[in-house]
């Protein structure tokens, strides 16, 4: 049977993708950030998951204003890196796992999570930047990815509580899949940041630290955080952090935090990253 | 109707009301993700923008690069940033423009830890500062 063994939380700041693609990962600005992921690359090489279930948000790339699914599950055999306005990132095509996706899609709907099924989908920096941070620049990504896109662009994003419950349903889905697979779940986005209007540049490091503590130690409580708190305390785009709760829901109640990294800034954003292993 | 987030200063929450207001504006902006459309907009800005049935105010804000105005008229940052990218403006430079700080000061603020949450939670905190 398939099994979830670990979770990764990771910001997906587009500038980090640009830095990696342009080879500026060691300067004063980006160096400290990429250094914070050195442990993670080694950990990943040892963990060797067979599949990554990756929770991210699309930034009006696969979904423009015409169609806005709250939860959309990738069910394709591959996902092309998209042109987001300055040419596609020069990263490998993301291979999918169609059988596992199909199983998860069916299981989630029967489990009362009425997700949208995506049989074709381009993926943007929201998905590819975390892969870059965790794997560097391989010629091929080392394992297939099952993407779950969450709407966090048009208010309201799904509630943290709903994301946490979805994570539990994702776990039931994955762990009822017949093949022996080791699965790592990524929750991406965040941390505190605001990209828009006159309050742009907001960072709330104390709030971010508390968010990470709750995520690890008291996710039942942390998943209750209301939207107004995310908007006010973590910035209008900080609400992306609800996606970390899908990842957390897919893990055991007790987890071991094996790595935490936090840095300000990358462009307009606080970078947060954690590795959690099922205890 | 008053909304819980109305009192967050310097912030426009892209809710369903804003999304409905900005639909055609946002669709115009996102169309610039593709090279063929960028070429068409570059060749004939007014001709291209008129293929999107937006309001005269939105049209003017887009043509004059009024970044705050675009958000107030229903634009969302992930869309308007595509228009900014068309003009060679990246996310951080765009933030420098929206905050009125300019790129250099904005970048310096970010490097020194970003905009503090203190004094930036409630509109009333900004109003007090204006009075002072």
Q: What is the pLDDT of residues B48-72, one digit of tens each?
A: 999 999 999 999 999 999 999 999 9
What's the pTM value of the predicted model, to 2 decimals?
A: 0.97
Q: For residue A76, give the DSSP letter.
A: S
8 Å CB contact of A197 and B11? yes
| pLDDT of A127 strictly over 50 | yes
| pLDDT (0 to 100) of residue B131 | 58
B6 Cβ contact partners less than 8 Å away, ≥ 6 residues apart: B123
Integer Cα distance of A82 and A67 in angstroms: 17
Q: What is the pLDDT of residues A238-265, one digit of tens each?
A: 999 999 999 999 999 999 999 999 999 9
Closest to A240 in 3D by CA, of A152, A108, A122, A158? A152
Q: What is the pLDDT of residues A174-220, one digit of tens each?
A: 999 999 999 999 999 999 999 999 999 999 999 999 999 999 999 99
Among the listed residues A12, A103, A125, A263, the single catalytic one is: A125
% of chain A at pLDDT higher than 70: 100
Q: Give me the helices (H) in chain A, please.
A: 14-22, 31-35, 38-47, 98-110, 125-135, 160-174, 205-217, 219-222, 227-234, 244-249
Residue A195 near residue A59, CB atoms below 8 Å: no
- Phi, psi of A72, deg, nearest 5: -130, 125
Integer Cα distance of A245 and A220 in angstroms: 10
What are the structural domain ranges in chain B?
Answer: 15-89
Closest to A116 in 3D by CA, of A153, A75, A171, A155? A75
- Phi, psi of A83, deg, nearest 5: -80, 110
* Average pLDDT of every residue of chain B: 96
**Lookup: tokens for B34:** 């593709």
Integer Cα distance of A89 and A93 in angstroms: 10
Residue B122 near residue B4, CB atoms below 8 Å: no
Q: Which residues of B touch A190 (CB under 8 A)?
A: none
- Number of A:B CB contacts under 8 A? 142
Superfamily of domain B15-89: Dioxygenase LigAB, LigA subunit (1.10.700.10)
Q: How far does the CA of residue B105 sit from the closest CA of chain A (Å)?
A: 11
Q: What is the pLDDT of residues A82-113, one digit of tens each?
A: 999 888 999 999 999 999 999 999 999 999 99
Q: What is the pLDDT of residues B81-103, one digit of tens each?
A: 999 999 999 999 999 999 999 99
Q: How many CB atoms lie within 10 A of CB A47?
A: 17
B99 Cβ contact partners less than 8 Å away, ≥ 6 residues apart: A198, A199, A200, A201, B10, B106
Give strand pairing partners of A56.
A149
Q: Is B108 on the interface with A (CB under 8 A)?
A: no
Q: For residue A88, give the DSSP letter.
A: B
What ipTM was predicted for this assembly? 0.96
A227 Cβ contact partners less than 8 Å away, ≥ 6 residues apart: A155, A156, A157, A159, A239, B5
Give strand pairing partners of A7.
A185, A276
| pLDDT (0 to 100) of residue A17 | 97
| pLDDT (0 to 100) of residue A124 | 97
Q: How far does the CA of residue B4 sit from the closest CA of chain A (Å)?
A: 7
8 Å CB contact of A195 and B32? no
Q: A270 vs A161, A215, A238, B16, B116, CA distance in Å?
A: 23, 17, 9, 27, 12
Q: A126 vs A101, A150, B28, B41, CA distance in Å?
A: 19, 11, 22, 27
Active site residue A197: no
| pLDDT (0 to 100) of residue A230 | 98
User: B 46-65 residues with CB below 8 A of A?
Assistant: none
Q: B87 in helix, strand or coil?
A: coil
Residue B121 near residue A233, CB atoms below 8 Å: yes
Q: A227 vs A23, A264, B88, CA distance in Å?
A: 37, 23, 33
Q: How far does the CA of residue A63 sit from the closest CA of chain B (Å)?
A: 10
| pLDDT (0 to 100) of residue A208 | 98
- Phi, psi of A82, deg, nearest 5: -85, 155
Q: Which residues of A touch B116 (CB under 8 A)?
A: 203
């Amino acid at each position: 049977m398939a099994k979830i063994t670990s979770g990764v939380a990771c910001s997906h700041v587009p500038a980090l993708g640009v830095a990696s693609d342009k080879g500026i990962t060691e300067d004063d600005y980006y160096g400290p950030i990429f250094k914070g992921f050195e442990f993670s690359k080694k950990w990943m090489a040892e963990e060797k998951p067979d599949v990554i279930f990756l929770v991210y948000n699309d930034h009006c790339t696969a979904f423009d204003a015409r169609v806005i699914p709250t939860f959309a599950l990738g069910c394709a055999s591959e996902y092309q890196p998209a042109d987001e306005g300055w040419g596609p990132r020069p990263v490998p095509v993301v291979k999918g796992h169609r059988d596992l996706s199909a199983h998860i899609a069916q299981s989630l709907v029967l489990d009362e999570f009425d997700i949208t099924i995506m049989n074709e989908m381009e993926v943007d920096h929201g998905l590819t930047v975390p892969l870059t941070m965790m794997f560097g620049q391989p010629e091929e990504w080392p394992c297939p990815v099952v993407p779950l896109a969450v709407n966090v662009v048009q208010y309201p994003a799904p509630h943290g509580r709903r994301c946490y419950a979805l994570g539990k349903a994702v776990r039931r889905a994955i762990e009822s899949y017949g093949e022996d697979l080791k699965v790592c779940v990524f929750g991406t986005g965040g941390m505190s940041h605001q990209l828009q209007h006159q309050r742009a540049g907001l960072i709330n490091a104390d709030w971010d630290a508390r968010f990470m503590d709750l995520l690890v130690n008291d996710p039942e409580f942390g998943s209750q955080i209301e939207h107004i708190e995310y908007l006010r305390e973590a910035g209008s785009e900080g609400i992306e952090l609800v996606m970390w709760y899908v990842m957390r829901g897919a893990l055991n109640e007790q987890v071991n935090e094996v790595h935490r990294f936090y840095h300000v800034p990358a462009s307009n954003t606080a970078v947060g990253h954690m590795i959690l292993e099922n205890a | 109707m008053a909304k819980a987030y109305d009192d967050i200063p310097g912030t426009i929450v892209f809710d369903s009301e804003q999304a409905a207001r900005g639909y055609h504006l946002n669709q115009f902006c996102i169309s610039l993700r593709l090279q063929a459309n960028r070429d068409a907009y570059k060749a004939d800005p007014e001709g291209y923008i008129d293929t999107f049935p937006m309001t005269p105010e939105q049209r003017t804000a887009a043509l004059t690069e009024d970044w705050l105005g675009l958000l107030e008229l229903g634009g969302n940052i992930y869309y308007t940033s595509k228009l900014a990218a068309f003009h060679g403006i990246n996310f951080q430079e765009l933030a420098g423009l929206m905050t009125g700080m300019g790129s250099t000061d904005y970048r310096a603020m970010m490097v020194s830890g970003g905009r503090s949450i203190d004094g930036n939670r409630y509109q009333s905190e900004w109003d007090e500062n204006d009075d002072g």
